[in-house]
Structure 1
Amino acid sequence: MAKQQLRPQRTDWRRNHERLLGVASVLVARDGAQVSLEKIAREAGVGSATLHRHFPSRRALLEEVFQGIVERLRQRAGELAGGDPRTGLVTWLEELTVCAANTRGLAAWLAAEAGDGPPDGETCHVVMREAAAVLVERALSVAAVRPGLSPEDLLTLAEAVSLVTEDDPAAARRLLHLALDGVRP
């Protein structure tokens, strides 16, 4: 996930950064992760050079757009890790899937990051993989899921369901539960 700035920034820098991030969040939610960077800059009232000073790449911008959502899902995995292993895993996968179905562009972003090769630091996908790994390991330890099941398997499943059910959380939940029936031992 995006690193925080180490030195204090000027007020206008922070204001532009927050404006760009706010506009990007709205446009990504509406139009998906491939929204035009120039459109984001224009709607934020800044030039594209300003956008690129704040976010040197689309990847950097999207990491920050999705950072809060991913952090909430990480924390939720930690909470669920203390309870029943199967229930915790299924609950977390459902929350991830519904969140990704409701957050346009998130599932595609996580899937794209998964295929990018070794990550540069703590990306959204790495955070989700680590959260899933804890829950999968617990479920495997009590034989609540099939042996050999991997966090990547379940993340791919959640991403796929989310992509085909974008803006339809009820369908996302239903399809996920149908697929999870195949995960049971």
Structure 2
Amino acid sequence: MSGYPDELSGHVSASVKGAAASRADARRNRDRILRAARDLVHEPGELKLNAVAKACGIGQGTLYRHFPTREDLLVEVYRNEVDDLVAAAPRLLATHPPVAALAAWFDRVAAYARVKRDVFAAVEAATWRDLAAHSLGPIGEAVELLLAAGRSAGSIRADVEARDVIVLIGWLSRVDDAELDSRGPRLLAVLVDGLRVPGR
């Protein structure tokens, strides 16, 4: 039994369903805002919140309810990118051998690096330093997960540490798109070959 009179039970149920639908709509709007901002942050000039709202097809009031300031939005774009990058490591290991998983993850790192570069260029120095400090741990753990799988399989060098890899891939966020497109795949392939145990 619901504990409510019959005439109230239906009303309560409808209210609960309505609240759940509102939360789902809010999550969808938030995800749309983040996707649009991620795309637009690469465009020349300052990211405009009205441009993000227009790209999403939502009102500016809806955008401001989720992200009151431009910096709030950019911070969340970066954090979301880090979360996706970190989550990709175990997913790739579940479907690929360790070296192939590492190579595929490096492709994902190249996309992350573009977002990192453009977000860090657009926020205050104190903000990007804080973001960098808080993302280093999770990204390092993802790298270590990939390396450990390769060590266990005997396919990745045992003397390489996660920090070594992070230092080596740091250049990705310091070059422009043209150079990243032209040199990135080749240099990341060189890095994978350097991490691989010869003959494996």
TM-score normalised by length of structure 2: 0.55
1:138 corresponds, among 129, 136, 149, to: 149
Q: List gaps (5 residues or longer) in structure 1.
A: 1-6
Instruction: Determine the structure 2 residue equivalent to 1:177.
Output: 189
Higher relative contact order (CA 8 A, sep 6+): 1
Q: How far 1:50 sits from its partner (Å)? A: 8.1
Instruction: Say if 1:109 and 1:180 are closer, same or farther in 2 by CA, change over 3 A.
Output: farther
Other structure's SS at 2:112 match: helix
TM-score normalised by length of structure 1: 0.58
Instruction: Determine the structure 2 residue equivalent to 1:44.
Output: 53
1:65 equivalent in alignment to 2:74: no
Equivalent-residue separation in structure 2 for 1:11 and 1:79 (angstroms): 25
Higher-helix-fraction structure: 2
1:93 equivalent in alignment to 2:106: yes
Q: Is the 8 A contact 1:74 1:128 kept in 2?
A: yes
Other structure's SS at 2:43 match: helix
Equivalent-residue separation in structure 2 for 1:79 and 1:15 (angstroms): 23
Q: Is the 8 A contact 1:86 1:139 kept in 2?
A: yes
Other structure's SS at 1:31 match: coil
Percent identity between matched residues is 30
Which amino acid in the other structure matches residue 133 of structure 1?
Answer: E
Q: How many residues align?
A: 165
Q: List gaps (5 residues or longer) in structure 2.
A: 1-18
Deviations 1:86-144 (A, max 9, x none): 232222113322x236xx4334658x88853753xxx5x55433322211222234361
1:84 corresponds, among 90, 97, 100, to: 97
Equivalent-residue separation in structure 1 for 2:27 and 2:101 (angstroms): 38
Instruction: Say if 1:149 and 1:51 are closer, same or farther in 2 by CA, change over 3 A.
Output: same
> Which structure has the bigger radius of gyration?
2
